[in-house]
Amino acid sequence: MKAYKELSKEELLTLKEDLNKEYEEVKAKGLKLDMSRGKPAASQLDMEMEFMDVLNSGSVLKTEAGVDCRNYGVLEGIPEARKLMGDMLGVSADQVIVCGNASLTIMYDTIARSMIFGVLGSTPWCKLDKVKFLCPVPGYDRHFAITEQFGIEMITVPMTKTGPDMDFVEKLVSEDEAIKGIWCVPKYSNPQGITYSDETVKRFASLKPAAKDFRIFWDNAYVIHDLYEDKSDSLLDIISECEKAGNPDMVYEFCSTSKVTFPGGGIAAVASSKENLEWFKKTMTIQTIGYDKLNQLRHVRYFKDIDGMKAHMKKHAAIMRPKFEAVLAVLDRELTGLEIGSWVKPNGGYFISFDALPGCAKEIVSKCKEAGVTLTGAGATYPYKKDPNDSNIRLAPTFPTPEELAVAADLFVLCVKLVSVDKLLAEK
């Protein structure tokens, strides 16, 4: 196909007329489709229903060590659940605390306790003149929302094909004591689907921050969310790398089963050094007498071990993979060669990241919504919802049915074409 920028003004005007006609026909259908968030589809949730039958009134509700899961206690989680989540992350059980239903809650609490109490004896962040955080972009909107709510200044870090720009990260953290942390989604990053290279992980572990209370917030949300058995990405273990580099306390690693079992009904965990976990427990013991051990026990009984969990994830992949491939096929077929957008083909995770021509993302999302397809808001993948290029759009293929997805993908590329033509005409 001929690149749009090579078309004459007359050709663009003719193309715009055809595209507008097609767009009005789609609008007339009255669509109501949602591709705004990375939610499992109903078919994935239906697949989980046996999970509800694992425990009942006749079940033995004690751990292998005899702890009664119906009662108070065991703040750090039952041993079997700590092992399961540790195996999920590739760390030992004693490096893990199993908490409630959401890793986002643990991350929020971690920022809060750093603000209020300080990190391992350091000055509470709330008493400092300035607190800053590094934010690889495009990134996870809910990470940015946490730091924004606490008034933490966010500094964008460009993403590369191997992870965040580490030259930039190393320079900033070594020079500015006000920089206290960095958000990371290291495997199948949200939204680009990039997995950090071994070199990137090692450079993270070897950082020499000016602030002794600097922490890497390693949100390993998609650690076992592979779409393909034969080409899944591998990620180096950040915790052991930090230990080797002499920085054992520099990282907190988070994960959950929110997209493994039921969103909102899973279990979440944090892994870190002994000192960091003791620091966590000092405030946790005031917050709660213990998290939901029955849910922890349910997960252990359901999966039995990490092999059971990975086998279960293959079932998720079987449902999700065709959806990703369908969207990517439409992008390839309709946009290749037009030079009006680029996209990443991930091997796992929950999103496809699309970069439109600069200045077009908001209008593309708006036109999609006008025609009945809701996408993640343009700019959401940047701090303060401000994408300086107004180009990045996060696509979430998982929730719609395959039939709905085909319609939504066709509408999306139609809107990309229409808005791109308008931009190029304005430049003629």
Strands 268-271 and 251-256: antiparallel
pLDDT tens column, 284-311? 999 999 999 999 999 999 999 999 999 9
Where in the chain are the domains? 4-45+311-427, 61-304
In this predicted structure, what is the pLDDT of residue 37? Answer: 86
SS (H, E, C) 299-323: HHHHHCCHHHHHHHHHHHHHHHHHH
Q: Which fold has domain 61-304?
A: Aspartate Aminotransferase; domain 2 (3.40.640)
Mean pLDDT for 409-427 is: 97
Q: What is the DSSP letter of 414?
A: H
In this predicted structure, what is the pLDDT of residue 7? Answer: 96
pLDDT tens column, 402-413? 889 989 999 999
In this predicted structure, what is the pLDDT of residue 358? Answer: 98
pLDDT tens column, 383-402? 999 999 999 999 999 999 88
Q: Which amino acid is at 62?
A: K
Which helix (H) or strand (E) segment holds residue 269: the answer is strand 268-271
pLDDT tens column, 200-215? 999 999 999 999 999 9
In this predicted structure, what is the pLDDT of residue 14? Answer: 97
Q: Are 250 and 173 in contact (CB under 8 A)?
A: no
CATH 3.90.1150.10 fits 4-45+311-427, yes or no: yes
Position 428 pLDDT exceeds 90: no
Q: Is 403 exposed, middle or buried (0-12, 13-18, 19+ CB in 10 A)?
A: exposed
Cβ atoms within 10 Å, residue 180 = 26
Cα–Cα distance list, 204 to 86, 223, 299, 378, 383 (Å): 21, 18, 32, 29, 21
In this predicted structure, what is the pLDDT of residue 1? Answer: 73
pLDDT tens column, 59-114? 999 999 999 999 999 999 999 999 999 999 999 999 999 999 999 999 999 999 99
316's tokens: 């998720």
In this predicted structure, what is the pLDDT of residue 354? Answer: 98
In this predicted structure, what is the pLDDT of residue 76? Answer: 98
425's tokens: 């005409």
Listed in sequence order, the residues at least 6 apart from 14 whose beta carbon sits closer than 8 Å to its beta carbon are none
User: What gap in Å lies between CA 338 and CA 67, rounded to an integer?
Assistant: 63
pLDDT tens column, 254-275? 999 999 999 999 999 999 999 9
pLDDT tens column, 314-360? 999 999 999 999 999 999 999 999 999 999 999 999 999 999 999 99
